Structure 1
Amino acid sequence: MTAAAHGPQSAEEFKGVAVVVAGLGVSGVPAATVLHGLGARVTVVNGTAGDKQRAEAAELEALGVTVRLGDGDTLPEGTELVVTTPGWKPVSPLFLAAEEAGVPVWGDVELAWRLRKPGAAPWLAVTGTNGKTTTTRILAAILAAAGLRTAAVGNIGVSLLDVVLGEQEYDVLAVELSSYQLHWAPSIRPHSAAVLNLAPDHLDWHGSMAAYAADKGRIYHGNTVACVYNAADPETERLVREADVEEGCRAIAFTLDAPRPSQFGVVDGLLVDRAFVEDRANNAQELAETGDVTPPAPHNIANALAAAALARAFGVAPAAVREGLRAFTPDAHRIAEVATVGGVTYVDDSKATNTHAAEASLASYPSIVWLAGGLAKGAEFDELAARAAGRLRAAVLFGADRALIREALARHAPQVPVTELDRTDTGAMSAAVAMAQDLAQPGDTVLLAPACASMDMFTNYNQRGDMFADAVRALADASAGPAPGAGAAEG
Structure 2
Amino acid sequence: MGSQEVSTVDWQGKHVTVAGLGVSGIPAARALHERGALVTVVNDGDDERARAQAAELEALGITVRLGDGATLPPSTELVVTAPGWQPDKPLFLAAAEAGVPVWGDVELAWRLRGDNGKKAAPWLAVTGTNGKTTTVRMLASILEAAGLRTAAVGNIGVSLLDAVLGDTEYDVLAVELSSYQLHWAPSLRAHSAAVLNLAPDHLDWHGSMEAYAADKGRVYEGNTVACVYNVADPATEDLVREADVEEGCRAIGFTLGAPGPSQLGVVDGILVDRAFVANRQKQAQELAEVGDVNPPAPHNIANALAAAALARAFGVEPAAVRDGLRAFRPDAHRIEHVADIGDVAYVDDSKATNTHATEASLAAYDSIVWIAGGLAKGATFDELVTGAAKRLRGVVLMGADRALIREALTRHAPEVPVVDLDRTDTGAMSEAVARAAELARPGDTVLLAPACASMDMFTNYNKRGEAFADAVRARADESA
Q: Please indicate the TM-score interval, normalised by the length of the shorter structure.
A: over 0.9
1:48 aligns with 2:15: no
Give the alignment partner of residue 80 of structure 1, picking from 45, 55, 77. 77
Say if 2:270 and 2:290, in contact at 8 Å, map to a contact too: yes
Cα distance between partner residues in 2 of 1:162 and 1:10: 18
How far does residue 153 in structure 1 lie from its aligned partner after superposition?
Answer: 0.5
DSSP 3-state at the match of 2:80: strand
DSSP 3-state at the match of 1:25: coil
Q: Which residue of 2 aligns with 1:57?
A: 54
Q: Which residue of 1 aligns with 2:111?
A: 114
Deviations 1:145-192 (CA, angstroms, capped at 9, x unpaired): 000010000111111111111110011110000000000000010000
Q: Which residue of 2 aligns with 1:327?
A: 327
Q: Which residue of 1 aligns with 2:197?
A: 197
How far does residue 9 in structure 1 lie from its aligned partner after superposition?
Answer: 4.6
Higher mean C-alpha deviation, range 63-72 or range 219-228: 63-72
Cα distance between partner residues in 1 of 2:7 and 2:35: 13
How far does residue 278 in structure 1 lie from its aligned partner after superposition?
Answer: 1.2
Q: Which residue of 2 aligns with 1:305?
A: 305
Q: Which residue of 2 aligns with 1:169?
A: 169
How far does residue 426 in structure 1 lie from its aligned partner after superposition?
Answer: 2.7
Cα distance between partner residues in 1 of 2:341 and 2:228: 41
How far does residue 41 in structure 1 lie from its aligned partner after superposition?
Answer: 0.7
Cα distance between partner residues in 1 of 2:168 and 2:7: 23
Cα distance between partner residues in 1 of 2:410 and 2:283: 49
Deviations 1:109-135 (CA, angstroms, capped at 9, x unpaired): 000000111641100000000000000
DSSP 3-state at the match of 2:149: coil
1:470 aligns with 2:470: yes
Cα distance between partner residues in 2 of 1:49 and 1:418: 45
Cα distance between partner residues in 1 of 2:426 and 2:188: 44
Q: Which residue of 1 aligns with 2:394?
A: 394
Q: Which residue of 1 aligns with 2:3?
A: none
Higher mean C-alpha deviation, range 418-427 or range 316-325: 418-427
1:214 aligns with 2:181: no
Q: Which residue of 2 aligns with 1:341?
A: 341
The AA in structure 1 aligned to 2:24 is S
The AA in structure 2 aligned to 1:67 is V
Q: Which residue of 2 aligns with 1:377?
A: 377
The AA in structure 2 aligned to 1:472 is V
The AA in structure 1 aligned to 2:349 is D
Say if 2:229 and 2:251, in contact at 8 Å, map to a contact too: yes
Give the ranges of 4+ consecutive aligned residues of structure 1 lying more than 6 Å apart after TM superposition: none
Q: Which residue of 2 aligns with 1:145?
A: 145
Cα distance between partner residues in 1 of 2:63 and 2:330: 41
Cα distance between partner residues in 1 of 2:300 and 2:426: 31
DSSP 3-state at the match of 2:125: strand
Give the alignment partner of residue 8 of structure 2, picking from 5, 10, 16. 10
Cα distance between partner residues in 1 of 2:245 and 2:46: 43
The AA in structure 1 aligned to 2:161 is L
Cα distance between partner residues in 1 of 2:207 and 2:409: 29
Cα distance between partner residues in 1 of 2:61 and 2:429: 47
Q: Which residue of 2 aligns with 1:5?
A: none
The AA in structure 1 aligned to 2:201 is D
Q: Which residue of 2 aligns with 1:461?
A: 461
Deviations 1:338-361 (CA, angstroms, capped at 9, x unpaired): 000011100000000000000000
The AA in structure 2 aligned to 1:36 is H
Q: Which residue of 2 aligns with 1:404?
A: 404
Cα distance between partner residues in 2 of 1:267 and 1:258: 5
Q: Mind listing any 5+ residue stretches in structure 1 that lack a counterpart?
A: 1-7, 481-491
Q: Which residue of 2 aligns with 1:100?
A: 97
How far does residue 58 in structure 1 lie from its aligned partner after superposition?
Answer: 1.1
The AA in structure 2 aligned to 1:408 is A
Cα distance between partner residues in 2 of 1:454 and 1:59: 33
The AA in structure 1 aligned to 2:159 is S
Say if 2:374 and 2:456, in contact at 8 Å, map to a contact too: yes
The AA in structure 1 aligned to 2:176 is E
The AA in structure 1 aligned to 2:189 is R
DSSP 3-state at the match of 2:73: coil
Q: Which residue of 1 aligns with 2:64?
A: 67
Cα distance between partner residues in 1 of 2:91 and 2:178: 21
How far does residue 10 in structure 1 lie from its aligned partner after superposition?
Answer: 2.1
DSSP 3-state at the match of 1:246: coil
Give the alignment partner of residue 32 of structure 1, picking from 29, 39, 44. 29
Q: Which residue of 2 aligns with 1:253?
A: 253
Cα distance between partner residues in 2 of 1:205 and 1:418: 34
Deviations 1:66-107 (CA, angstroms, capped at 9, x unpaired): 111111110011110000001100001100000000000000
DSSP 3-state at the match of 2:88: coil
Q: Which residue of 2 aligns with 1:423?
A: 423
DSSP 3-state at the match of 1:259: coil
Q: Which residue of 1 aligns with 2:230?
A: 230
The AA in structure 2 aligned to 1:454 is S
The AA in structure 2 aligned to 1:175 is V
Say if 2:352 and 2:449, in contact at 8 Å, map to a contact too: yes
The AA in structure 2 aligned to 1:125 is A
DSSP 3-state at the match of 1:371: strand
Cα distance between partner residues in 1 of 2:7 and 2:344: 58
Cα distance between partner residues in 2 of 1:176 and 1:410: 38
* Aligned length, in residue pairs: 472
Cα distance between partner residues in 2 of 1:144 and 1:220: 24
DSSP 3-state at the match of 1:26: coil
Q: Mind listing any 5+ residue stretches in structure 2 that lack a counterpart?
A: 1-5
Cα distance between partner residues in 2 of 1:18 and 1:264: 48
How far does residue 50 in structure 1 lie from its aligned partner after superposition?
Answer: 1.2
Deviations 1:369-388 (CA, angstroms, capped at 9, x unpaired): 00000011111111001001
DSSP 3-state at the match of 2:214: helix
RMSD: 0.9
Say if 2:271 and 2:286, in contact at 8 Å, map to a contact too: yes
How far does residue 427 in structure 1 lie from its aligned partner after superposition?
Answer: 1.2
Say if 2:400 and 2:424, in contact at 8 Å, map to a contact too: no
The AA in structure 2 aligned to 1:177 is L
Deviations 1:18-65 (CA, angstroms, capped at 9, x unpaired): 111110111111111111111111111111111111111111111111
Q: Which residue of 1 aligns with 2:414?
A: 414
Say if 2:138 and 2:324, in contact at 8 Å, map to a contact too: yes
Q: Which residue of 2 aligns with 1:3?
A: none
Higher mean C-alpha deviation, range 58-67 or range 264-273: 58-67
1:19 aligns with 2:40: no
